Structure 1
Amino acid sequence: MLLSEVKSYLQIFHLELDEKILKELEEQKQKAISDKNEPLANELWCLIETYNIQKKYLDMFRNLKYGKYESAWLLLDEIDISMGFLRANFGDGIKHYNLTFINTMIKNYEKVFPDYVYTSRESIIKSEKCSICGQIASLRGGCKHIPGKLYMGELCLRMITDFEFLGIAIVKHPLDKYAIIKIEGKDYNYEVLEYLIKNLDSPFRPWYVEQITRKKPEYVHIGRNDKCPCGSGKKYKKCCANTPNEYGPHFRITLLGGEEMKEEPINYSGRWVDKSENT
């Protein structure tokens, strides 16, 4: 298959990707390396990453449809990391192959996932080496290879050879978002994501989400002298009335290229729900 044909294939939306395309790209990259054709080898690495991103995006959507939300989140994070490396090496190619669309959509999906909490390792890196030449990296010197850049079809990374583990921190915004914290008897609240996926008919249907603040349903028709819905036992007028406590996030999701989703409130009721509520 000609490279031009492979490129044309990758520029079209597919619900299933042909594995022969990946095999063809890998074979052509090995030939470019054998021929010492670095520009072509680097371009083929970018096209292989493009194929992998497209596949992970399809797998992510499939996992969402099956309710496998954490698996979908891990794929989303992998796509985001791959996009960063690809953006640094592909030039104008990042504008093609539906990559701009996928990047936009994963940012939208992030907004409707629950507010995960993560663990993050704390450690001191004592020694690392270049993945391209194997030379030990140091502040005073080392090789000329730049981490994150391509060399003869291979991505330069720093490989840790020795480190000291210090501890584990609980964080909300780690560099990598794999280690999700779970609480016994609790599950993350996926109500907004579930509402979206129920109405989304294709991974290629564009949509966007707006988050606004709206009065919580339990406070809408409450009388001033009624007991406050917060459970304090006080009268509403002496408790949560006219305070931020009676307002919460509301999500309005719009499907593009067609109808707008029904204007029913999607109120986010908090990060956690009891697992019994989901069974």
Structure 2
Amino acid sequence: MESNKKYIKYIINWMDITKNDKSTLKEVNADLLNSQKENNENNSNKLYLIKTIIDSHMLYCDVFELLTEKKYYEAWCKLERIEINLISIKNNIEYLDTHHDYGLQFLTNMVRNWQMLYPYKIFLSSREIIHELQCSICHTQRSFLDNCIHEKGKLYNGQVCYDEVTKFEIITFDIVSTPVHKYSVLFPKSGDNNNYQYLDLVLNYVKSTHQIFSVRLLNRFFDNHHGILSPDAPCPCNRSMKLYKDCCLKRKYIYIQHVDLSFPTPLNVPAIFQ
């Protein structure tokens, strides 16, 4: 289809996509709905991927703007939305010409880099007993012994197949460090008291949406425990939610997290990153 060629050209030139391209996204969505009505499965799946790629780049533009406005949690939630989009695209990429990247590697790297700079360590996670669930495509009930022909995560006529929970029972809510849903950050009643120094420092140098950088989190160890406070304080190694007495206090060495930041061109980066 001619419209598809136009859209493909659009996502190949992904660096030109901005948060103001809502009209193009609306146009793709309208074509997707028409294709679904005609049961043109291959075309519908292709249009879904095009739509999701455009949406992901627009979301990233939103993320960068929110970060510059110091709206850290809102940006964090949108980073997770991009991450979810990227999973759907990866699971169904066979519907697009894989000779092109469409900016997917850029999004994958940059979402990871920004997330690594966040100070969030504690999240809320629920545990449930699932009594009934069904396929989102054909609405057939699923179980360990019975299933339908649709594969979770795959596209069917422009719709992603997922498990639709119809009956469940919440057992408990747990505090975790590796959540299923990253948006479930725990904040104290007093508000957001997190230290966003790493984000702020990077934003001193990243001035445009598509400027790239890379982050590595390393552990450096010290052979003494100078300047460490109460054993009941959070462990300064920052590797878990454990208290100092339950983590590094009993070790000969204490491991301190080190942030290694790289830009494609040399910059005068503060010593905290050196």
**TM band (smaller chain):** 0.7 to 0.9
- Which residue of structure 2 aligns with residue 145 of structure 1? 150
SS of corresponding position for 2:204: helix
Per-residue CA shift, 1:246-265, capped at 9, x if unaligned?
A: x6333232221x33342422
Unaligned runs of 5+ in 2: 231-248
Structure 1 segment 61-210 matched on structure 2, within 5 A: 61-91=64-94, 96-185=101-190, 187-210=193-216
Greater CA deviation, 36-45 or 205-214? Answer: 205-214
Report the residue type matching 1:169 in the other structure: D
Report the residue type matching 2:259 in the other structure: F
Report the residue type matching 1:34 in the other structure: K
Structure 2 CA distance for partners of 1:11 and 1:17, relative to 1, 3 Å:
farther
Per-residue CA shift, 1:157-188, capped at 9, x if unaligned?
A: 11111001101011111222111111244612
Structure 2 CA distance for partners of 1:15 and 1:25, relative to 1, 3 Å:
closer
Structure 1 segment 12-51 matched on structure 2, within 5 A: 12=13, 13=15, 14-51=17-54
Q: For the residues of structure 1 that align with 2:145 and 2:256, how far apart are their CA atoms?
A: 53
- Which residue of structure 2 aligns with residue 225 of structure 1? none
Report the residue type matching 2:71 in the other structure: K
Note the C-alpha offset of 1:3: 1.8
Report the count of equivalent residues.
248
Structure 2 CA distance for partners of 1:142 and 1:200, relative to 1, 3 Å:
same
Note the C-alpha offset of 1:215: 8.5
Note the C-alpha offset of 1:214: 5.9
- Which residue of structure 2 aligns with residue 236 of structure 1? none
Tell me, yes or no, if structure 1 residue 56 matches structure 2 residue 63: no
Q: For the residues of structure 1 that align with 2:58 and 2:273, how far apart are their CA atoms?
A: 30
Q: For the residues of structure 2 that align with 1:149 and 1:231, how far apart are their CA atoms?
A: 51
Structure 2 CA distance for partners of 1:39 and 1:261, relative to 1, 3 Å:
farther
Q: For the residues of structure 1 that align with 2:105 and 2:71, how far apart are their CA atoms?
A: 25
Unaligned runs of 5+ in 1: 217-227, 233-239, 268-279
- Which residue of structure 2 aligns with residue 7 of structure 1? 8
Q: For the residues of structure 2 that align with 1:120 and 1:204, how far apart are their CA atoms?
A: 33
| Large movers: runs of 4+ above 6 Å | none
CA contact (8 A) 2:86 2:108 kept: yes
Structure 2 CA distance for partners of 1:166 and 1:33, relative to 1, 3 Å:
same
SS of corresponding position for 1:211: strand
Q: Which has the larger radius of gyration?
A: 1
TM-score (norm 2): 0.81
Per-residue CA shift, 1:133-170, capped at 9, x if unaligned?
A: 11211222232111111111111111111001101011
Q: For the residues of structure 2 that align with 1:201 and 1:160, how far apart are their CA atoms?
A: 43
Greater CA deviation, 113-122 or 205-214? Answer: 205-214
Report the residue type matching 1:65 in the other structure: T
Q: For the residues of structure 2 that align with 1:172 and 1:30, how far apart are their CA atoms?
A: 40
- Which residue of structure 1 aligns with residue 241 of structure 2? none
Note the C-alpha offset of 1:231: 6.0
CA contact (8 A) 1:255 1:261 kept: no
Structure 2 CA distance for partners of 1:88 and 1:215, relative to 1, 3 Å:
closer
Q: What's the C-alpha RMSD, in Å, of the aligned pairs?
A: 2.7
- Which residue of structure 1 aligns with residue 272 of structure 2? 265
Greater CA deviation, 93-102 or 139-148? Answer: 93-102
